Structure formats: structure tokens, C-alpha cells
Structure 1
Amino acid sequence: MSKAISMNQIANFQADLDQRPEAKVIERSVTKNGILASSQDIQAMSQTTPVFSIDLDTGDVANQKQSGRCWMFAALNTMRHSLAEKFNLKHFELSQNYTFFWDKFEKANYFYENVLATADQATSSRKVAWLMTTPQQDGGQWDMLVAIIQKYGIVPKSVMPETYNSSKSAEINSTLNLKLRKDAVELRELVAAGTSDDAIQERKEKMLNEVYRMLAYAFGEPVSHFDWEYRDDKKQYHIDQNLTPQSFFEKYVGWNLDDYVSIINAPTDDKPYNHTYTIEMLGNVLGGREVKHLNVSMADFKQLAIKQLQAGQSVWFGCDVGQSSDRQKGVMATDVYSKDELFDVDLSMSKAERLDYGESLMTHAMVITGVDLVDGQPTKWKVENSWGDKVGTKGFFVMSDAWMDEYCYQVVVNKEFLSDDLKAAQAEEPTVLAPWDPMGALA
């Protein structure tokens, strides 16, 4: 039987508060300064100095500005790092606007197809409600960017620079989602009326044409051929003519993207280690690379990242950046705030509990560019963010090893660093998870 809060209970709660000698001091601090400032542990900050035994020189940080493209910035930055070293272009950037255009265009088609696939379900069904909550958004996964690059290539930022809408995406997102929801109404009505598949696809093509036009107005028309003219860090002039986005990627990046795989750490009962997982209705390019994760222990997770850093290559990773982190100072550490001590309450949860109960999931992607190893064990990690150079140490953050244990969920590594057992596990057919599974979160 449920019970309402009684006035007697409230009197007891107030009496408990009154007998605490520290209560008024804490109240004054929290009401004046807020929870974070009142609970910050300055000593914890001193344990996260930005000095690392392995420290890759990756140049200046980028700035995603008011957009949710961290996953895209982080992935393109890992590619930029190798390109910059090979061609003496430390201050070079790839075009995040170009991949943004194609991601949104492909997500529109992916949404339409999911609408058609669920058209026999009521709008109150969980899957349909899930689709309509966010028809498309800025966020994504590593595999989704791979799908874009494998189909469309990439270009230098100078060839397709930022626009108002790529740097500040709220307006295009709300307008595009309005259109997609309106189109969903029509597509579901066509299915309900028994319209032929050919007629539905013909109508969908007209919808996509309208989406393409909207994106071209917002981001500029995507380039198909271009000349690339630049001076390298040694002031040497270069020009490369009649490139395509695909030929540019092959010539200047040259990665076999199939070699790079997603590794996750999700210690929940429904995801045994050393097995692979995918997520229903998650993706962008229909028929392109699927989102696929290999779940491993945290020990394996970290050792794979270390091996790639030791080989001189940075590591794309996904985490819950808002947990126990100081954005301005660029510190991510489990002891940076002591909220439990401040309020005298137990706030501890296991990583699995946080995932299962909605307290945490991947919210942001960045790049690991260094690690501090003491007696062969990591103590802290260097992180390249995409929030500009005014935060952290010129845009770089420090992540404690304990924070990685608790709030890091994904790294992307070359398959060459996997053991034979993990290679075999990664090759398995993945278990399909529900669309709302936390491992389907978009960074």
C-alpha cells in the first residue's frame, strides 16, 4: 500500500536537520556557490597534472561550437593526426561540414525506411514513439562516420568550410525534424491505404529531394570535384587538382577503415564479455557499415588503447563527459567533487547499475592522445577535446584512470592489436539490442 508523506515525518526530518551542527554552514555554501563549487576537491586537481609518459603531438584542437558533432570531430581528428604528420600540416583540418551534410541526408532516408518498417504498429508502440522522439540528431557513432566516408569520402575544411548552421545546428535540426515527422504521417497513411511499394518509394524520393535542398541551403552544396591548394608547415606550396572526395581520402588518409573496430565496456548482465552487439534501428547509411560493438573487460579495453598509443596512433573514444568533470579546467576524475560528503548521503552506484538505471551512458566522443604509465600501469590519460582552446590546457583534458574505469564506454582500435581470441569474437554475428539500449547512445 502506498503512503503519502505525513506532517509528522516532515517534523522528524526537520529535527534531524536541526541537530546537525554543520547544516547552516553547508546551506550557506551551497545556496551561494552551488553544489559543484561547494563540493570540489582541490587536492584531487593536483593529481591530474598534464604530464604523460606517452604523449602524441597532434597539433591544435578543433571546435565543434554549438553543434553535437563531437563523434565526427573526434573521428576526423584521428585521421587528421596521421595526415598532418605525413604531409607537414599541423594546423590542417578536415571538413566536418561535408560529412555533416551527408550524415543528415542519409539519416533522413534511414528514418523514412524505419517509419515504413513500423507502419503496421500503433503510434503508441514503443518503437514508433522512439522513432518520433528524435527523427534525426547531430550525434553518431564511429561506424556511422565510416559508413559516410566509405560512400562519400572526405574533403579538406578549406574546400567545404563551416556555415552558420553547421556551427550552430539547433535551427536546422528543429526544422528538419518537423519535416521528417510530417513526412512520417504521410508515409504511414500511404501504407495504411494499401499503396504499392513502388508508389511509396516514388513519394519518398520526392521527400528526399526536399531534404537535399534544405541541407544545401543550410550547409552549402557538397563538392564532387575540387582542387586543393595549400602551403605546408615548411612554407612549401602545393596544388593537387581534380580530386574527388574519395580520391582525397585514399591519397591523403589511406586507411582501410574495415580494420578499425568498436570496443565497448558494458558490464551489465545482458551483455557477456567477448561477444558482439548491434542496436536495432541505429545507423545512417542504409546498406552501409552497421554499428557493431565487441564487449570486453576493462583491463582488455585499456590495454588495447595503450597498444595503439604505443604504436603512435591516437584513439577515438566515447564517454559520459558530464560525470565528475570540470569542463573549464579540463579535468575528469572520480574524486573531483565530493557530493556524497557534502550532503552526507551515499551516492555510489556500480558502472552496471548506472547503465541499467539510466544514470549514465555515452554522451561525448573525444580522442586519447597520451597516457601516463607507472610501472606499466596507466594512472591518467591525455584527451584531445573539440571545444576549442579556451578550456583545459589549450583544449586538452586530463582523465584519471579511475574515471576511465567508471565512465568510458567505447574505444576504436585497429584489429591488429586484438588477441586471436578477441579477433574471433569480433568476427561473430552480433546480438541485436533494443533501440533504447544504452549502448545505442549517440555521442
Structure 2
Amino acid sequence: MDPSPLSKETLQKFRSAFYDSPKNILAQNVCSRVDPFDVCLSRKQLEDVQHVFNHKVDEGKPMTNQKSSGRCWIFATLNVIRLPFMKQLNIEDFEFSQGYLFFWDKIERCHFFLNNVVEVTKRNEAVDGRLMSFLLHDPTTDGGQWDMIVNVINKHGLMPKKCFPESFSCEASLKMNRILKSKLCEYAKAIRDLLAKGAGDSEVRLLIEYQMENIFRIVGICLGIPSETFTWNYYDKNKGYHTIGPISPKDFYENHVKPIYNVDDKVCLVTDPRPTNPFGKSYTVDCLGNVVGGRACIYNNQPANVLLDLVKASIKDGEAVWFGCEVSKRFAPKQGIQDLEIHDFPLVFGVDIQTTLTKAERLLYGESAMTHAMVFTAVNTNDENEVTKLRIENSWGEERGEKGYLIMTVPWFNEFVFEVVVDKKYVPEDVMDVFKQEPVVLPAWDPMGTLAQ
């Protein structure tokens, strides 16, 4: 079919149809002055929201805030880990240092990228090829996946936030990331030029070491450099004084955190309903990771109801759950509600949005992907033991929802949750056996490789 331009007559027909409807005029009057999504909020759905649950873990304080950074995956992980840690030490409030893991992820991520440049160049990928272009587009993103945070914790350990507090570039990472991207693109060219001259592996390693010294300096200037050892003093709930250290972050994790929460005991399950990616299979994504020599990002693909059952089992046993979702869809951020019915788009616009395609179709057509990580802390079940709603600890401060906590319906879970992390003891044997498979490698740009930010 040959394309035809929009004619004057066609546009006039659209204009007449618009103004023939008083509802359109009312909607225009309101939406031209107010957030269109707020206009679409359903009063009825707002009235039905209650943060009361019959299965709830002990929650932590204070409510965390990632501010203007893409560190939700780090915050969500540390928010899960701190709950049993605080209980074990009998402390009132506590945060692990998000900035500490952010520092080491930046260092490791840049090194991983430079080694990816070597690998992809050796595949004879052109600099303007799809894969190299994809890698160069955002080489130092803040976002991440579960297996990536496990890599950083296992290699570098953990610190209390009191011992490595936030910096400006932790809370507002844009400018630092611009500096790093500029250098990484420059360094990618240098690596490709060196390989084009026939350089051996030893020459390339020396070049990357020189480049990483500069990267380390930049990140250290922006974020500070964590001490090799620290001493942490704290009071318990009974005002008793305690001290730990001097100790290395790695030993702090191994000796004081790992016996309570071992990241290696947790497994990541995803739900990707695209026909090309059958359930019961294992998947990974080309060039995705953050630590050279670390574990790969492995996805065990299961139906959404399996993920929901595992969340229920974990919460009922007292353990919070890390999860990844597309946070912005059918979401009332101020009220903290994730509900397919929270917006009445047809009433205002005459058409529906965001759920007109299936979950698989949204993935295929670029309309959906996992974008944010948070923590499930409660579920509500009915008389049939079916989950009816879920409670979420976010990392955006106390201003949204119920002092920072959100509420999610099960239909929303089915449509927009993409992965959960639970202890393997809750996972049936046949589901665990999927991890033994050789994973199918998805391309680097596949939506399942999208990073939580």
C-alpha cells in the first residue's frame, strides 16, 4: 500500500468529531491544566485501598530513598537483607551502605564493559553494528539485575551506611555517568584500534589496566573510596552499646550477614510469556553482567502464578522478596497504588491504553519491560488461600503511598511483574531443575535484559 498524506478534509473531519462531543471538550478543559493521569484516577478504586494484610514480615526503618539515581536494585537488595540482620542484632533502625555497592558496581561495570569491547571486536563486529552500538549507547548505567548484585556482594562484601555515607553523585549520578561514558567511548576506540593493529592479549590487558586506573580516580573523586577496614559502633533496642571491627567489608558480610542472609541461597525466576521463550526453560542475555569472572544473569522462566505462589510462601515464612516490575504502568504514584483499574482512560480519552496488548505482545512491540526493583513485605490471602493483594517497600522516600509503601493487586502482578527472587528452599524441585539447563542466549537488546533503575 502506498502511503497517503493526511488531507485537509480528513483533518477537518477529525476536528468536527472532536468538538461534536461535549465530553471531549470537558476532558480538554481539565487535562490542559492538570496531569492527565490524575484526571483519569478512579475515585472508586481509591476508596477500596487499605494497607491491612494477614501475612506480613517485620519491616525495617528508615524508609530509604535512592533520590536521582538508578540504584533501586541495590536499595531493594539491601532492604531485604537488613530485615533479618536488624532482628538478629535487635536494633531499631539500620541501613547498609548503598553507596558502597554503587562504588564497586561502577568500577566493576566499567571494567566489564571494556572487556566486552574486546570480546565483541574479536567477533568482527563493526563499530556501527547493532551489538556494538547497543553497548556504546549506555555503558555505565546505574541499573542492574539480581545476579549482578550477588557478584558485587560476594566479591566486595557489605558496609553499614554510617561507615560509608551517601555523596552528591550517589544521589544524583547523571553528571558522573556523563564523564564515565565519555571516557569509556574513548577507551573503546583505543581498544579497537589496538586490536586492529594485531595486538596480543597482554598488550590489551595493559591498556585496560591504564584505562581503569583513570576510571577508578574519577569514580573515587565523585563517590569517595571505601576504606579497606571499618569499625561500626551501635546501640541495640535496649540501649546496649556494641562494636564490630576493625573488619573488612568482605569479612563483615561473611561473618555477620551471610549466616543470616546468604545471597547464594536465593534464586531469580522470571515470567516471559512470549511464544519464542517457552516456560520451563533457562535463559541468559548476551554481554549482560558487571563483574569479569562473576556469575552470569540466569533467568528461570515460569508462569506468573508460579512466581506469585513463591512470593506467598516466602512472605508467610517471614522473608521479604526482591522483585522487578514495570513500575509506571497503571500506577498512581502519589497514592502508591498499582492496580489495572486505578485509571479510567476510556472515560477521559475514549480509548484504553497500557493493557490493550497482552503481556507477550507488549514485550514484542517495545511497550513493556522490567524497569524497577522493590520489595514485597506482605500479602493478603482469602479463605481459599489465594493472594488478593500485596504490600511493597519502595525506595523513593516517605512522600508516596503509605509513608513510602505501595499496594499492588494480583491482576497488576500478572501483567507487570517480571521477576522475583526467593530462597531456593521454597522452590519446587522441578522448577529448580531448570537451572541445570544450558541457558538459551538472548540478544543483548532483548527486553529481558532491561535493567532495574
Shared fold (TM-score, shorter chain, > 0.5):
yes
Paired letter, 2:197:
A
TM-score, scaled to structure 1 = 0.98
1:176 equivalent in alignment to 2:180: yes
Q: How does 1:377-392 map to 2 (within 5 A)?
A: 377-392=386-401
Structure 1 match to 2:30? 29
1:370 equivalent in alignment to 2:374: no
Deviation (angstroms), 1:24? 1.4
Aligned 8 A contact 2:345 2:352 in 1: no
Matched residues, percent identical?
Answer: 35
Deviation (angstroms), 1:251? 2.4
Paired letter, 2:339:
A
1:67 equivalent in alignment to 2:75: no
1:199 equivalent in alignment to 2:200: no
Deviation (angstroms), 1:16? 2.1
1:356 equivalent in alignment to 2:375: no
What is the alpha-carbon distance in structure 1 between the residues aligned to residue 291 and residue 411 of structure 2? 36
Q: How does 1:71-220 map to 2 (within 5 A)?
A: 71-119=73-121, 120-220=124-224
Structure 1 match to 2:53? 52
Paired letter, 1:422:
V
Aligned 8 A contact 1:40 1:336 in 2: yes
Further displaced range: 37-46 or 95-104:
37-46
Deviation (angstroms), 1:436? 0.8
Deviation (angstroms), 1:276? 1.1
**Please, which runs of 5 or more residues in structure 1 have no aligned partner?**
none
Q: How does 1:289-328 map to 2 (within 5 A)?
A: 289-328=295-334
Question: Secondary structure of 1:277's partner?
Answer: strand
What is the alpha-carbon distance in structure 2 between the residues aligned to residue 340 and residue 436 of structure 1? 33
Paired letter, 2:305:
A
Question: Secondary structure of 1:124's partner?
Answer: coil
What is the alpha-carbon distance in structure 2 between the residues aligned to residue 95 and residue 167 of structure 1? 12
**Are the structure 2 counterparts of residues 97 and 34 from structure 1 closer, same or farther at C-alpha, using a change threshold of 3 Å?**
closer
Paired letter, 1:425:
V
CA deviation profile, 1:69-104 (whole Å, cap 9, x unmatched):
000000011110110111112311101111111101
CA deviation profile, 1:196-255 (whole Å, cap 9, x unmatched):
221111011000111111111111112221222111122110012221112111222223
What is the alpha-carbon distance in structure 2 between the residues aligned to residue 187 and residue 391 of structure 1? 46
Paired letter, 1:37:
D
Deviation (angstroms), 1:19? 2.8
Paired letter, 1:5:
L
What is the alpha-carbon distance in structure 2 between the residues aligned to residue 337 and residue 225 of structure 1? 51
RMSD: 1.2
What is the alpha-carbon distance in structure 2 between the residues aligned to residue 252 and residue 369 of structure 1? 23
What is the alpha-carbon distance in structure 1 between the residues aligned to residue 48 and residue 411 of structure 2? 12
Question: Secondary structure of 1:32's partner?
Answer: coil
Question: Secondary structure of 1:352's partner?
Answer: helix
Deviation (angstroms), 1:329? 1.3
Deviation (angstroms), 1:42? 1.3
What is the alpha-carbon distance in structure 2 between the residues aligned to residue 41 and residue 247 of structure 1? 51
Further displaced range: 379-388 or 193-202:
193-202
Q: How does 1:401-440 map to 2 (within 5 A)?
A: 401-440=410-449
**Please, which runs of 5 or more residues in structure 2 have no aligned partner?**
none
TM-score, scaled to structure 2 = 0.95
Aligned 8 A contact 2:58 2:318 in 1: no
What is the alpha-carbon distance in structure 2 between the residues aligned to residue 271 and residue 311 of structure 1? 31
Structure 2 match to 1:256? 262
Deviation (angstroms), 1:346? 4.1
